[in-house]
Structures are given as C-alpha cells and as structure tokens.
Amino acid sequence: MVDQWVDVCVVGAGVAGIACAQGLAQQGRSVVLLDRLHPLPAGLKAEKIDADGVTALVRLGFGPTIARIVTPLRSVTVVRGERVLGTLRLIPPEASMHYADLVNGLRAQLDARVDFRPGCKAVALAPQADGMAVVTADGARLVCRLVVLTTGEARHLLEPLGARYLPEPPHQTFAAAFNLRGLLGGDRPVDSQTYHRPLPGTPVAYATFFRLGSTVRANIFCPGPISAAWQRDLKDRPLAVLSAGNHRLAAAARDWQITSAVMTRKVQVARMQPPVCPHIVALGDATHTIDPAGGGGLTFALTEAELLVQVYAPRWFHAGAFSAVTLGAFYADPRRTAAVRRYFGAGHYIFALNHDRSRRGAWRRLRFDWSYRLAAWRGSAALLPAATWQRPAPYLYEQYAPDSPPGRGPTRPHSAKRSM
Ligand SMILES: Cc1cc2nc3c(=O)[nH]c(=O)nc-3n(C[C@H](O)[C@H](O)[C@H](O)COP(=O)(O)OP(=O)(O)OC[C@H]3O[C@@H](n4cnc5c(N)ncnc54)[C@H](O)[C@@H]3O)c2cc1C
C-alpha cells in the first residue's frame, strides 16, 4: 500500500485528540484523526466539566455542540459529614453531560479540514527518515512529521516506545454511578449536591448528585483500598448504604428512585514517564490518569492540548525540529507541570479529607468547613480561598501500601494516632 504523507496524525478521538486535531487543522496543518471506535459507546466517564474546560472547547469553535449537549450547573450545596456548609452559586457555571455524547457531538462538528477516520485503529509506529509512520489495522501507513498520541488509557502504543507508567497515590479509585429521579435541594432547588466524607471511617470519600438533562446523576467515589464487600454493597444498594450512615443523605434520598443500572469502575491512578523519541508526543489520559474523585480530567487534557496547539507545535513546525529533546520541552513546560500538580493534588486532597485521622487531618477539615462556610456566606464558589484545595498530604500515603489487603469495614492508616 502507498504511504500517505501528512503533517500530523492524531491517534485517538477523545476530547484531547479532537482538541489537538481541530486546533492544528485551523492553523493550516494537514491532519488525520484516527479512532478505533465510532461512535464512542456510553460508559462511566466524565460527567462534569468546569468553566475553564467549557471555554477551551468554545475557543476551538465547538460552542454549538456545547450549547446542545451540556446542562449548566449554577448552584451547589456542599455537605461534609452531616454538616451543611452552605449553598454556593457557581459563576461561571459548571456543566454536566454524558462523555460519549460530548465526544460524538464534537466529532460531528469537526472542522472540515480534519481528515477524521472512524473505526481506524493504529497498531504500530515505525520511524522513517524524516518522520514517523503510523500503521493501522487495515494495513495503511500514514507518514507524518508529528504523531500526537491521545489514546486514553490504552497504553499499547506507548509502552513499546519506552514509556513507563508510575502509580500515583491513591493508586486506585472505585467509582459507582447511576441515574435517579428526584429533587435536589427540596423546596430550595439546587443544581447539585456534594457530600464530602459522607460516611466517616469508610472508603466512601465523595458523593455528588447533579442535574444531567432531565435526570439526576449520582457519582460516588472511593479512592484508596476498598474491600470486595464495599464494592458489592455500593453496586447493589448504593442509596441504602449512603442513607444508613448519613442522616442528611437519608433525608435527601427519601424520595429518590434509581432509574438506571448502577455502573462501577476501578480507575488506576498513574502518571507516565514519557518516552524519549522523535516525532511523537502524548497527552491527555495517555500520559496521566488522575483520580476522578478530584475531577478536572477533561480540563487537564484540554489545557495540554491548547499548550501543544498554541505554543509548541507552531514552534516545532517553524523550526522543522522534532527531536526527542525538542519535544521533551512540552512535558517540562511549567504550565503543564503546574497542571499535573493541581489535578493530581485535587485527588490527594479528597483522599486526605476522608482518611487523615491525624491532628493535621482534623485541622484540614476545619479549614475546609470554614472556607466553604465563608464562601457560602459571601454567595459564590468563586470566593473560596485559593488555598482550600492546595494542601495534599504526602505523609498520609506512606501509611498505605498500593495493594493493602481489603477488609470489611473501615480502612484506616496503620499508624493513625488519633481518631475523629
Ligand atoms: C470514572 C471516571 C469518571 C470521570 N469523571 C470526570 C469528570 O466528572 N470530569 C472530568 O473532567 N473528568 C473526568 N474523568 C476523566 C476524563 O474522562 C478523562 O480525563 C478524559 O476523558 C481524557 O480524555 P482523552 O481524550 O485523553 O482520552 P479518551 O477519552 O479515553 O480518548 C481516547 C480515544 O482513543 C481511542 N483509541 C485508543 N487506542 C487507539 C488506537 N490504537 N487507535 C485509534 N484510536 C484509539 C479510543 O477509542 C478513545 O476514543 C473521569 C474518568 C473516569 C475514569
């Protein structure tokens, strides 16, 4: 088969790949975008996106899809344990959607200059004299100057190139999600309700309920070790489990009815040490899986895509330089490393808020409560003190082995000195 030459081949048409392909095509590059699955099937992934993520997509010209697909979330009631910390306005609003709807909607609205090839799987990469060839399952070879790997958690293309995935605390998160019929906020309706540490002393760290179209979506996150019994209970009777340990939740859930199957998923939290090879750059979930309990995966991927499209790709094409060292500057960019700290940090924070039984943990929860109370009193989440989410607890993870034997009931740090 004859090789086809293009400037860029983007492998993987999730949000990260779509953003890269769209942005590079708008700059006049010839771009092929491949995905092995089309349409993307529904699954348990990404239901909330913050305002930064929404505006990044709008900047790429995806405003009409966003307007059609997302549900704006303008208010949230925040509860920690049994304490209602307040109701905050979200200005600008967050948004909810089904990830598959978002991705399929964006694919349908791609710039006509993007050569999108649905159902096309990349199976190998082969170095060429002045580029890299992407070999597809049907035997085609696309030779390009830049390969952008946005293959999500599929690591088969990156590991043979020398990429190493390093587990990150809390190593894994168990997620359960379902739809329900019911009201949020009773006689003072809100768009979302979040419960931090709803069942102290258990693996359940965070439960969030929010409007998604005409239904209410529930997402429950358990970062860290979790026993098979907890997994089963959360899958079989999630509302009963939550209500049994939390009066606030029991009162809210009295009139709720689950209207879908309960989906569960275990996410391995990890960061990639990038491969050192010319002509290939990777981003999005291909390079890091953050803890979904902290949220922000979509915005993180879009931040990287924007950095690549606006700053690095134009530089590389202008200089005609695609060496491993040149490309390595992308991974080391301070904006990217700050995003790595921020988004992994949010997951660390949720974990520590739930599990840290030390004096520092009690202090952390106190700060959390007062930050939210103050912001609620002032009326807006935008007025949360900047430091609220920026205090990871590295000391805490030393107390957890990645594969702690799961037991029934509370998980607790081995050397906890004090219980709350
Ligand atoms: C349970 C869960 C809940 C989450 N909740 C949120 C949330 O509420 N908010 C948030 O912001 N983030 C959330 N995230 C994170 C967010 O979903 C991801 O960060 C984001 O989807 C990453 O996008 P991506 O484009 O990098 O990867 P993906 O969306 O995984 O896209 C990868 C694409 O590559 C394709 N592909 C893979 N291999 C090949 C190949 N060889 N050839 C061709 N195509 C290939 C796949 O078919 C897929 O379409 C959640 C994640 C999980 C797991």
Domains of the chain, start order: 4-47+98-163+274-332 (3.50.50.60), 168-267+353-397 (3.30.9)
Distance CA 277, CA 281 (A): 9
Which pair of structure tokens corresponds to residue 315? Answer: 């530089």
Per-residue model confidence (pLDDT) at position 261 = 95
Distance CA 412, CA 185 (A): 32
**CA nearest to 391, candidates 357, 353, 338:** 353
Q: What is the residue with the minimal CA distance to atom 15 of ligand 1?
A: 297
Q: How far is the CA of 152 from the centre of ligand 1 (A)?
A: 5
**CA nearest to 75, candidates 2, 165, 184, 222:** 184
**CA nearest to 85, candidates 77, 93, 95:** 77
Distance CA 109, CA 94 (A): 22
> Is 295 within 8 Å of 342 (Cβ atoms)?
no
Q: How far is the CA of 297 from the centre of ligand 1 (A)?
A: 8
E strand segments, 160-214 = 164-181, 192-196, 206-212
Q: Is 305 in the pocket of ligand 1 (CB under 6 A)?
A: no
The ligand 1 atom nearest the CA atom of 285: 26
Distance CA 270, CA 285 (A): 9
Per the rule left: phi > 0, alpha: psi between -120 and 50, beta: everything else, 81 is left
The ligand 1 atom nearest the CA atom of 173: 1
> Is 177 within 8 Å of 217 (Cβ atoms)?
yes
Q: Is 285 in the pocket of ligand 1 (CB under 6 A)?
A: yes
> Is 73 within 8 Å of 96 (Cβ atoms)?
yes
Q: Is 223 in the pocket of ligand 1 (CB under 6 A)?
A: no
> Strand pairing partners for 180?
216, 258
In a 10 Å sphere around its CB, with 0-12 CB exposed, 13-18 middle and 19+ buried, how is residue 5 labelled? middle
Distance CA 145, CA 319 (A): 12
> Is 186 within 8 Å of 331 (Cβ atoms)?
no
Q: How far is the CA of 17 from the centre of ligand 1 (A)?
A: 10
Q: How far is the CA of 156 from the centre of ligand 1 (A)?
A: 15
**CA nearest to 296, candidates 49, 105, 128:** 49
Per-residue model confidence (pLDDT) at position 267 = 95
> Is 30 within 8 Å of 146 (Cβ atoms)?
no
Per-residue model confidence (pLDDT) at position 173 = 96
Q: What is the residue with the minimal CA distance to atom 12 of ligand 1?
A: 297
Distance CA 39, CA 196 (A): 35
Q: How far is the CA of 289 from the centre of ligand 1 (A)?
A: 9
Q: What is the DSSP letter of 386?
A: G
pLDDT digits (tens, 9 = 90+) for 224-248: 999 999 999 999 999 999 999 999 9
In a 10 Å sphere around its CB, with 0-12 CB exposed, 13-18 middle and 19+ buried, how is residue 414 labelled? exposed
Q: How far is the CA of 204 from the centre of ligand 1 (A)?
A: 23
Q: Is 269 in the pocket of ligand 1 (CB under 6 A)?
A: no
CB within 8 A of 238, min separation 6: which ones? Answer: 176, 178, 218, 220, 258, 262
Which pair of structure tokens corresponds to residue 225? Answer: 């070790």
Q: How far is the CA of 391 from the centre of ligand 1 (A)?
A: 27
Q: Is 199 in the pocket of ligand 1 (CB under 6 A)?
A: no
Q: What is the residue with the minimal CA distance to atom 14 of ligand 1?
A: 46
Q: Is 40 in the pocket of ligand 1 (CB under 6 A)?
A: yes
Q: How far is the CA of 383 from the centre of ligand 1 (A)?
A: 31
Q: What is the residue with the minimal CA distance to atom 3 of ligand 1?
A: 45
pLDDT digits (tens, 9 = 90+) for 400-417: 544 443 333 333 332 222
pTM for the predicted model, two decimal places: 0.92
Q: Which is it for the CA torsion 147, 153, 157, 158, positive or negative? A: positive
Per-residue model confidence (pLDDT) at position 410 = 32
First to last CA, the chain: 67
Contacts of residues 403-407 at CB distance under 8 Å and 24 or more positions apart, as own/partner, are 403/171, 403/225, 404/224, 404/225, 405/225, 406/225, 406/226, 406/227, 406/228, 406/230, 407/227
User: Can you spell out the DSSP letters for 251-320?
Assistant: HHHTT-EE-SPPEEEEEEEEEEE----TTEEE-GGGTEE--TTT--HHHHHHHHHHHIIIIIHHHHHHHT
> Strand pairing partners for 272?
165
> Is 196 within 8 Å of 353 (Cβ atoms)?
yes
Block mean pLDDT (10 aa), the chain, length 420? 88 98 98 97 88 93 94 95 95 94 98 97 93 95 97 89 91 96 91 96 96 96 95 97 96 95 95 92 95 94 96 97 96 93 90 90 92 91 72 59 39 27
Distance CA 213, CA 69 (A): 9
Q: How far is the CA of 285 from the centre of ligand 1 (A)?
A: 6
